[in-house]
Amino acid sequence: MTATKDARTRTGMFDKDHPHYRWVALSNTTLGMLMATINSSIVLISLPAIFKGIHLNPLDAGNTSYLLWMLMGFMLVTAVLVVGFGRLGDMVGRVKIYNLGFVIFTLAAIALSLDPFTSGAGAMWLILWRVAQGVGGAMLFANSTAILTDAFPTHRRGMALGINQIAAIAGSFIGLILGGVLAVIDWRAVFIVSVPVGILGTIWSYKSLHEVGTRNPGGLDIPGNLAFLLGLTSLLTGITYGIQPYGDSSTGWLNPWVDGALIAGLLLLVAFVWIELKVEAPMFELRLFRIRSFASAIFAGLLGSIGRGGLQFMLIIWLQGIWLPLHGYSYEETPLWAGIYLLPLTVGFLISGPVAGTLSDRWGARALATGGLVLTAATFVALLLIPVDFDYWTFAVITFLNGVGSGMFGAPNRATIMNSVPANQRGAASGMAGTVLNAGSSLSIGIFFSLMAAGLASSLPAALGHGLTSHHVPAAAADTIANVPPVGSLFAAFLGYNPIQTLLGPTGILGQLPKADSAALTGKEFFPNLISLPFHDGLVIVFLAAAIMSVVAAVASFIGGKRFVFADEVEDPGRLVARGEDHAHHVAVAHAARGARAADPVDEPQPTR
C-alpha cells in the first residue's frame, strides 16, 4: 500500500487522502467556479458598452430579444445542462468532464472577444458564443463540488465546499465591479479577461486533477435528458419573455406563447419525473429527495438563489436609475459606480462565507444556514424602511449584513447537499445544486422584474404624465409616453441609459421644447425625482416577496435536521453515519442511496458511534 502511494506521489497521482492533492483540487475548482460565475454577471453591468460597441440600441423596436438573450442566455443554458453533465461525470469521470468544460469555456471567451460583426449580426454572434460558454460553464458547475467532495474527508468538507461556494456566489458580485471597470476601457475587454485565466486553468486542471471518486457506470438516460432539457428550457424561456409587454398589459404573462411555453415546460418536467422513476439508469436519482436534509437544502438553495438574484437586479436599477444621478453622476458613469457602491455586499459575503464553512464542519449546517437566511430576510425588510434617496452608510451597513447572511447560508447549504448523498451520486447532486443556483438567477429576473413592473404600473403613468406636461410636453404626447409599459424605463435604468431621453428622443419633441425644459427633462434629476415614489411602491412588493422567500427557505433549512453524512469509509452503501435522524428515515435514505426499487432488499443503516 505504501509503495503504491509513493508511486502515485512521484507521478503526481495523489489519492483522495493525500493532503497535497486536496489543496490542488480546491484551488483549481475554486478558480473554475470563480471564472464561470464572474462571467454570469460581468455582462449585466457592461451591456451599455457592449451594445454601443456593436452599434445596436437594444431598446429600439425589435431589438429587445437581443437584450434578453444577452442577459439570460448564459444562465439559462448552464441551468439546463448542469444536471446532465453531473450525471455524465458520475459515469465517465468528473475530472474528465470538468477539464473539457475549461476548454470549451476558454474557446468561447476567445470567440466572444473577436466578434467580427456589428448590429444584429454582431449581437447574434455574441449570444451564440455566450450559449457555448454556458455549456462549458455547466461542465464546471456540475463537477467542481463533486471533485472536492471526493478529495476531502467529511470533517473538512464544510471548509472546502464553503470556499468553493464562496467563489461561486462572490463571482456574481465581483463580476459587477469588474464589468464596470473593463467596460470603460473597451467592451471586448469584458470577454478577453477570461482568456488568460481560462488557458491557465485548462493547463493546470489537465496536469493536476485526477479521478479519485466512485464511478456510477450505466447507460445515458436519453429520454430523461431530453425531457429535462426541453422542459426547463421552455419554462425559463417563457419566464424570460414574460417580462416583455403584451397588448395593453405591462408584462407578457397573458401572451399565449408565453403561457404555452410555461405549460409545455411544466408538462415536460412532470414527464421527466415519471421517466426517472422508471428507467434503470436515471439521469438523476430522484429517490435522493427522500433524504430530508438533501431535499430541504435543495429547496432552500433555490429560494435563496432567487432572492439573491432579485436583490442584485433591483439594487442595480436603484443605484443607476435613481440614486447615482441624484448624487451628480452621469448616466454613462453609473454602471461603473453601481458596482463600486455594491462592494459592502461582496465584502460581507467574503468575510462570512469561509467562517461559516469551517464552523459547519464542527457544529453542523442547520444553525448557520437558518440564521443566515433569517438575517437576509431582515435586511430585505430594512431596505424597505430607508428612503429611496438614502444615506449611503445606512445602505452600506444593510447590504453588508445581507452579504454576511448569504455567506452564512451558502457554504453550509452546499456542504449539506454534498454530504447527504452517496459517493456514486455526487456528480448528479452537484449538478442539481448548480441547476438550483443558475435556475434561481434566471427565475429572479422574470419574477422580480414582473413584480417591479406591477408596482410601477399603478403609480408611474400619472407621475410621468404630470411631470412631462409641467415641462411643456404636449398633453397628447405626454399621455402616450406615460402609458408606455414601465418595463422600458426599467431596462433603460438597468442599462445606464437616460430613460427620458430614450422615451422622448425618437418622437422629436425634445427639439421643439424650450432649451430650459429640454435640459431639465434630460438632466440628472428629473427622472430620479419623478420615479422615486413609484419605485418605492415597486420595492415594497419586490423585497417583501424576497423576505418571504428567505423565511420559507430558513424554515426548510431548519426542518432538514441535524448533521447527516454518508460515511466515506463504509463499503456497504446501505450503512450510514448520521446524526439526529429517525430510524424510518434511515431506511428510506438507504433505498435512495442504492437507487433501490420498492422490491429491493435494504441493509439497515448503522447508528452513529
Q: How far apart are CA 19 and CA 547, in angstroms?
A: 41
Q: How far apart are CA 418 and CA 431, in angstroms?
A: 10
Does residue 569 surpass a pLDDT of 80? no
With respect to residue 555, please indicate whether it lies within any of the assigned structural domains.
Answer: yes
* Average model confidence (pLDDT) across the chain: 79
* Grid cell in block for residue 72: 439570460
Residue 566 pLDDT level (bands cut at 50, 70, 90) = low
Q: Let me know whether 332 and 361 are in one domain.
A: yes
Question: Average pLDDT for residues 302-320, to the nearest whole number?
Answer: 86
* pLDDT score recorded for residue 583: 40
With respect to residue 583, please indicate whether it lies within any of the assigned structural domains.
Answer: no
* pLDDT score recorded for residue 279: 83
* pLDDT score recorded for residue 214: 66
Question: Average pLDDT for residues 160-172, to the nearest whole number?
Answer: 74
Whole-angstrom distance between the N-terminal and C-terminal Cα of the chain? 28
Q: Let me know whether 89 and 160 are in one domain.
A: yes
Q: By the 8 A CB rule, do 132 and 76 touch? A: no
* pLDDT score recorded for residue 430: 72
Question: Average pLDDT for residues 218-225, to the nearest whole number?
Answer: 76
Q: Range with the lowest mean pLDDT among 18-32, 120-134, 509-523, 587-601?
A: 587-601
With respect to residue 554, please indicate whether it lies within any of the assigned structural domains.
Answer: yes
With respect to residue 490, please indicate whether it lies within any of the assigned structural domains.
Answer: no
Does residue 572 surpass a pLDDT of 90? no
Residue 142 to residues 29, 37, 101, 426: CA-CA distances in angstroms?
11, 13, 10, 10
Residue 261 is which amino acid?
A: A
* pLDDT score recorded for residue 563: 56
Q: 239 by DSSP, 3-state: which? A: helix
Q: Let me know whether 249 and 210 are in one domain.
A: no
Does residue 296 surpass a pLDDT of 80? yes
Q: How far apart are CA 383 and CA 424, in angstroms?
A: 44
* pLDDT score recorded for residue 13: 47
Q: Let me know whether 268 and 140 are in one domain.
A: no
Q: Let me know whether 426 and 542 are in one domain.
A: yes
Q: Range with the lowest mean pLDDT among 272-281, 445-454, 587-596?
A: 587-596
Does residue 383 surpass a pLDDT of 50? yes
* pLDDT score recorded for residue 432: 78
| Residue 249 structural domain | 224-276
* pLDDT score recorded for residue 155: 67
Q: What angle do CA 191, 196, 197 make, to 5 degrees?
A: 90
Q: How far apart are CA 205 and CA 117, in angstroms?
A: 33
Q: Let me know whether 405 and 552 are in one domain.
A: yes
Q: How far apart are CA 458 and CA 452, in angstroms?
A: 10
With respect to residue 518, please indicate whether it lies within any of the assigned structural domains.
Answer: no
Q: How far apart are CA 328 and CA 96, in angstroms?
A: 51
Most confident of 322-326, 328-332, 373-377, 603-607: 373-377
Q: Count the domains in the chain.
A: 2
Is the pTM value of this prediction over 0.95?
A: no
Question: Average pLDDT for residues 403-407, to the nearest whole number?
Answer: 90
Beta-carbon contacts of 27 under 8 Å, excluding residues fewer than 6 positions away, are none
Q: What angle do CA 102, 107, 108 make, to 5 degrees?
A: 100
Does residue 433 surpass a pLDDT of 70? yes
Check residues 74 and 176 and name the one with the higher pLDDT: 74
Does residue 602 surpass a pLDDT of 60? no
* pLDDT score recorded for residue 115: 92
Q: Let me know whether 332 and 436 are in one domain.
A: yes
Question: Average pLDDT for residues 472-493, to the nearest whole number?
Answer: 79
With respect to residue 517, please indicate whether it lies within any of the assigned structural domains.
Answer: no
Q: Let me know whether 404 and 257 are in one domain.
A: no
* pLDDT score recorded for residue 604: 33
Q: How far apart are CA 502 and CA 94, in angstroms?
A: 48
Q: Range with the lowest mean pLDDT among 239-253, 322-336, 359-373, 471-485?
A: 239-253
Q: What percent of the chain has pLDDT over 90?
A: 18
With respect to residue 354, please indicate whether it lies within any of the assigned structural domains.
Answer: yes
With respect to residue 520, please indicate whether it lies within any of the assigned structural domains.
Answer: no
Residue 114 pLDDT level (bands cut at 50, 70, 90) = very high
Which residue among 276, 310, 343 closes a domain? 276
Does residue 537 surpass a pLDDT of 70? yes
Residue 417 to residues 254, 411, 425: CA-CA distances in angstroms?
37, 10, 11
Check residues 296 and 252 and name the one with the higher pLDDT: 296
H or E stretch at 472:
none
* pLDDT score recorded for residue 291: 83
Q: Range with the lowest mean pLDDT among 72-86, 87-101, 314-328, 369-383?
A: 72-86
Q: Let me know whether 158 and 268 are in one domain.
A: no
* pLDDT score recorded for residue 106: 93
Question: Average pLDDT for residues 48-60, to the nearest whole number?
Answer: 84
Q: Let me know whether 265 and 296 are in one domain.
A: no
Question: Average pLDDT for residues 386-390, to the nearest whole number?
Answer: 92
Would you tell me how many other CB atoms lie within 10 Å of the CB of residue 93?
17
Q: Range with the lowest mean pLDDT among 293-302, 422-431, 518-527?
A: 422-431
Question: 143: closest CA among 352, 434, 348, 522?
Answer: 434
* pLDDT score recorded for residue 605: 36
Question: Average pLDDT for residues 335-361, to the nearest whole number?
Answer: 82
**pLDDT tens track for 131-147:** 999 999 889 988 887 78
* pLDDT score recorded for residue 547: 94
* pLDDT score recorded for residue 310: 82
Residue 440 pLDDT level (bands cut at 50, 70, 90) = confident
Question: Average pLDDT for residues 228-246, to the nearest whole number?
Answer: 83
Check residues 481 and 192 and name the one with the higher pLDDT: 192
Does residue 404 surpass a pLDDT of 90? yes
* pLDDT score recorded for residue 607: 36
Check residues 441 and 277 and name the one with the higher pLDDT: 277
Residue 218 pLDDT level (bands cut at 50, 70, 90) = low
Q: Let me know whether 379 and 391 are in one domain.
A: yes
Burial category of 545 from C-beta neighbours within 10 Å (exposed 0-12, middle 13-18, buried 19 and up): middle
Does residue 410 surpass a pLDDT of 90? no
* pLDDT score recorded for residue 375: 95
Q: Let me know whether 168 and 252 are in one domain.
A: no
The CATH number assigned to the domain holding 363 equals 1.20.1250.20
Does residue 589 surpass a pLDDT of 70? no
